Structure 1
């Protein structure tokens, strides 16, 4: 029997679009279903000033196919040289919706990230004053810390001290991957939210490593134990408004993924809504999908929910292209490992 579900048009609160040929190829995959997205600033060179964010926004809008509507929500890359006055002006103009904190070396194009957090304290204090959120890649980068423990250590060593030292700072813990992250959000009722990705709801570390290394499941933060995946699913489907969708959809060409040092990232923009509907249905929470994908994020960012809607229909298995072709080479679309029966039929 056919089932349908109509929800407010969703938003993506953590998205990589890259630039140039890749931007032109992947942008329609998001704009087809999503109204807005928080755009990551880790280009080369990174987007660190309001002027650079405005130029990047213009390039995104120029790449948007005719007939599609989509609003890029711009961010600045926090560095130790970030100017609080520039941040304030960019936020006041309505252009910039958040700053992004990358610990130096934590992930793709993060070499310009922060090593000395005392140097960014004036920026964080200005952000607390004006209510601008800080989006956090929550991992330490110490070589003596196991990669599977880096999120939990970051919470204790970095995030909690930052929040205690800067009362009122609004923080999004991006792409949480552990029960530690879930528990930290749930224990803090003020000024704290967290995004959860599509792929972290579906894969654990076995998917990356069992039966050979699977480069298209390799991401940062890396997928963890099954117990952590279950904690993420419980949080996402719970209806708790502090958790919302941020896909961290991260396009890399196959040449860069399938190499001796494969780039980290899963490209999920194309099939995220089908994947999420499947996950929420399996967990008996289809009535909570709209909150997770369409309502909780805007509420945290103090923006109205989208007025437009999309309709998902359950039926025969829906197929997506295995790859998105770009002038720089193909990008493999995330494979959830099971048939998808929910398709976006109206958007």
Structure 2
């Protein structure tokens, strides 16, 4: 196969940041993607419906002229979040989901939830009105190894929560382990998972072999090879509970290349090329559309996009920029460590 036409894809987990960074990166998403769930971990975070409305307006104002893109807004869950505000946000059509960050789990998560019982009134309201909860599925207790955080979160936080609130719809974002994949597969209802581009392509060797390479550092951190293979099997399976959420997360190089580098990998610019490569390797190009364009909308109760994009495979590798320049600073682009031959020819 040398060409593939699919419905225009969506990104169900995206960091756009704000200000000059937002202006510098939004075009790499809006060029190919019709919609994206926008993460709320700004400084300060997006905690109210009014915050989300203002942020949405800034995103739309930053769009390149002529691009068609719909930001799907989320709220940052805190122990003080108002159930009434959350319900009003959903009723208005503005709020697509609420995001749970365990405090200290990742970038700008220090204001997240420490005691889930204190957030229970909001979660109960969300279960009642059918508003999904997106979770960063890691515990942050210091005695838990960083490579075990996801599995421990499932056992000690997520499974008890889902038993307590069986009507709560939960998206496990950026699943990174076989345990996470198996837990979703074994679930009977109200659970799905997004999978990132980079976790399909790299394991933890990319971060550590040959020296510490900070531009492959993300949270949740990349795991062992058998976990990567489990993610790939789930992504190409056609199972409607798995869909793309890039977790593309730009940081300027000085904040990555320092003594305490930020977590995040910037993949928006080359995600579709990477995914076509993965799905071709797995002999599953016929299932790429389900993963990128069908399963996510179905989970969030939206119609798939009517517009199409066409990917073509060239004879020579595609040359993506190693870095992009923004008015906020230089951002390194994800290097998948293999040549890519597929590119978006039209959208």
- Per the TM superposition, whether the score is higher than 0.5 is yes
Q: How many angstroms apart in 2 are the aligned matches of 1:207 and 1:3?
A: 29
Aligned to 1:82: 81
Aligned to 1:112: 111
Q: CA deviation at 1:10?
A: 0.2
Deviations 1:51-104 (A, max 9, x none): 000000000000001111100000000000000000000000000000000000
Aligned to 1:161: 160
Q: CA deviation at 1:319?
A: 1.3
Aligned to 2:144: 145
Q: How many angstroms apart in 1 are the aligned matches of 2:264 and 2:39?
A: 13
Does residue 344 (structure 1) correspond to residue 316 (structure 2)? The answer is no
Q: CA deviation at 1:320?
A: 1.1
Aligned to 1:269: 268
Structure 2 residue runs of 5 or longer lacking an equivalent are: none
SS of 1:263's partner is coil
Does residue 134 (structure 1) correspond to residue 133 (structure 2)? The answer is yes
Aligned to 1:322: 322
Aligned to 1:239: 238
Aligned to 2:196: 197
Does residue 280 (structure 1) correspond to residue 273 (structure 2)? The answer is no
Q: How many angstroms apart in 2 are the aligned matches of 1:328 and 1:249?
A: 17
Aligned to 1:95: 94
Aligned to 1:229: 228
Aligned residues between the structures: 346
Q: CA deviation at 1:189?
A: 2.3
Where has structure 1 moved over 6 Å in runs of 4 or more?
Answer: none
Q: How many angstroms apart in 1 are the aligned matches of 2:343 and 2:188?
A: 35
SS of 2:79's partner is coil
Q: So what's the TM-score if we normalise by structure 2?
A: 0.99
Deviations 1:22-62 (A, max 9, x none): 00000000000000000000000000000000000000000
Q: So what's the TM-score if we normalise by structure 1?
A: 0.99
SS of 2:310's partner is strand
Q: How many angstroms apart in 2 are the aligned matches of 1:198 and 1:255?
A: 24
Deviations 1:216-236 (A, max 9, x none): 000000000000000000000
Deviations 1:203-250 (A, max 9, x none): 100110000001000000000000000000000011111000000000
Q: CA deviation at 1:276?
A: 0.1
Aligned to 1:64: 63
SS of 1:28's partner is helix
1:279-298 to 2 correspondence within 5 Å? 279-298=278-297
Q: Which moved more, 1:162-171 or 1:9-18?
A: 162-171
Q: CA deviation at 1:328?
A: 1.8
SS of 1:61's partner is helix
Q: CA deviation at 1:321?
A: 1.2
Q: How many angstroms apart in 1 are the aligned matches of 2:295 and 2:192?
A: 9
Q: CA deviation at 1:317?
A: 1.3
Aligned to 1:335: 335
Q: How many angstroms apart in 2 are the aligned matches of 1:318 and 1:69?
A: 25
Q: How many angstroms apart in 1 are the aligned matches of 2:175 and 2:165?
A: 22
Q: CA deviation at 1:267?
A: 0.2
Q: How many angstroms apart in 1 are the aligned matches of 2:112 and 2:65?
A: 36
Aligned to 1:257: 256
Q: CA deviation at 1:318?
A: 1.0
Aligned to 2:122: 123
Structure 1 residue runs of 5 or longer lacking an equivalent are: none
SS of 2:28's partner is helix
